[in-house]
Amino acid sequence: MLKEFMPSSFNTPRKVWAIMLAPFFVATVAMGSYQYTHGLFVEPLVQAFGWSRTEVSASLSFAAVGIITGPFLGSLLDKYGAKPVMLCSVALMGSSFALRPFMTELWHLYAISFLQFMAINGTVMLPAGRLVGIWFKKNRGKVLGLTMMGNNFGGLLLPPIIGSLLITFSWQFAYYGIAIMFALVWLYTLKFVSEKKACASKSIKDQEVRLGSAQILPGMTLQEALKTKYFYMIAIITPIGSLAFSMVLPHVINNYTNSGISLLTAASGLVVLSTFGMIGKVFWGIIGEKITGRKALMCSFSVTIVGVMLMYNPIAGPLFWIAVAVFGLGMGAFGPLYTMIIQDLFGLRNYGAISGLLGLTGVITFGAGPVMGGLSYDLAGTYKPIIIAASSGIAIGVLLLTQIPNEKRY
């Protein structure tokens, strides 16, 4: 069964799946600790230091640092391969949580958050895309989806574990718990991640060791990619693809609790959303293999629009569960399909540098999205303006995708 995923010359499928579990585990811990456990620490830090909720939550704004460092990490990925970049990035993120119990000033929190986010692109998206591109010539979309499911799986796994540590022990102990998780995935990465195929000749391997660099892969250089118009179209699509995540997702719970739905029900809806996000990654990855990543992303964007618009009039009952499920199913597709499109158009040679540079435009929505959501409610007393804005923006993304070539070039 596993052999159908492998290149014909590669005969150790178990080893390859062990390799691909590394970015899954890293994504589980890295994204779970960033996206899903932050809220658990807000009140303990407010009580411990007297900081305001706004001051504590402002630490998340340093996520923009991770986007800015993306091109640098991408260049390192192209030069040295996935393993060294993953090891250094996981070590930096893990250290940031190990240092948190020692902070006493607000600037300590901000400095540690800077350390945390400067490495985040080197833990998840960039290495996963490279490893899947190397090891899976067929079924790339499916495997990208499975690997990136870790982003959502962290939302299911980490909150109950960290919440239990907070209740049973302390916020300091809970931070140590996250640091230990990073140490475990670091050891797993050290043990299993490799880019060298079993069929590679000894002379090639020896040359790679002497040069201290990663193997040269097929595809465009960054300079060649910059000369194509498609690079700039994808640069526009990048922030559009983040609209659902940055503008709508942070306000899903408040959108429904403000209409009278209980916090418990709204939180349960978020679990459903996360679950369908995982399903969506694999589902759309499979669809992308059949009809290309471009067409699959157009379809998933359309599904996302439907899910977002179903939240326009938030009401309890079956429509609530349908809305969060449809939204999650559509939103979950962006990571794997976006990676597929980049690799189809530009190949793997400078995948890290190209993907990192394209990701810079994501600063727009990641920086403005949460703020626009807050302004929407403060000024209009409802989240309907951002629902319309996000849906309109994603619709523009569908139109732009019609101008991207459909064929696989690499």
- Residue 234: strand, helix, or coil: helix
Residue 64: the pLDDT is 79
My answer on whether 226 and 290 are in the same domain is yes
Which residues lie across from 347 on neighbouring strands?
Answer: 219
Domain count, the chain: 2
For residues 174 and 41, give the distance between their C-alpha atoms in angstroms, rounded to a whole number.
9
Residue 123's contacts (CB-CB under 8 Å, 6 or more residues apart) are: 26, 27, 30, 86, 89, 90, 93
Beta bridge partners of 219: 347
Q: Which of 343, 304, 135 is nearest to 225 (CA)?
A: 343
- 215, 248, 268 - which closes a domain: 215
Statement to judge: residues 232 and 211 lie in one domain: no
Helix, strand or coil for residue 219? strand
CA distance 242 to 95: 28
Predicted pLDDT of residue 370: 66
Cα dist. 129→20, 134, 217 in Å?
A: 10, 9, 13
Residue 295 CA: distances (Å) to CA of 47, 147, 299, 345: 50, 21, 6, 14
Q: Does one domain contain both 263 and 188?
A: no
Residues 155 and 270 grouped into a single domain: no
Give average pLDDT by consecutive 10-residue segment, the chain, 410 residues: 42 78 94 81 90 81 84 92 95 97 96 93 88 84 88 85 91 96 97 73 43 69 94 92 79 81 81 90 92 94 96 88 94 91 92 91 75 76 89 94 82
Tokens read off for 209: 């060791």
- Residue 357 shares a structural domain with residue 384: yes
For residues 205 and 236, state if they share a domain. Answer: no
397 and 261, same domain (yes or no): yes
227 and 172 housed in the same domain: no
Question: What SS3 state is found at 302?
Answer: helix
User: Which string of DSSP letters, residue by residue, matches 327-375?
Assistant: HHHHHTTHHHHHHHHHHHHHBSTTHHHHHHHHGGGGHHHHHHHHHHHHH
Report the pLDDT value the prediction gives residue 205, as an integer from 0 to 100. 46
Residues 123 and 254 in one domain: no
Q: From residue 204, how far is each of 199, 216, 218 by CA, in Å?
A: 10, 11, 16
What is residue 112's predicted lDDT score, i.e. its pLDDT?
Answer: 96
> Are residues 236 and 204 both part of a single domain?
no
Segments forming the whole domain that contains residue 336: 217-410
User: Is residue 28 located within the same domain as residue 156?
Assistant: yes
Distance CA 16, CA 180 (A): 25
Kindly state whether residues 244 and 285 are assigned to the same domain: yes
pLDDT on residue 258: 82
Contacts by 314-321 with C-beta closer than 8 Å and gap 24+? 314/255, 314/256, 314/258, 314/259, 314/261, 315/259, 316/260, 316/261, 316/265, 320/256, 320/261, 320/265, 320/269, 321/269, 321/272
For residue 234, the domain's CATH number is 1.20.1250.20
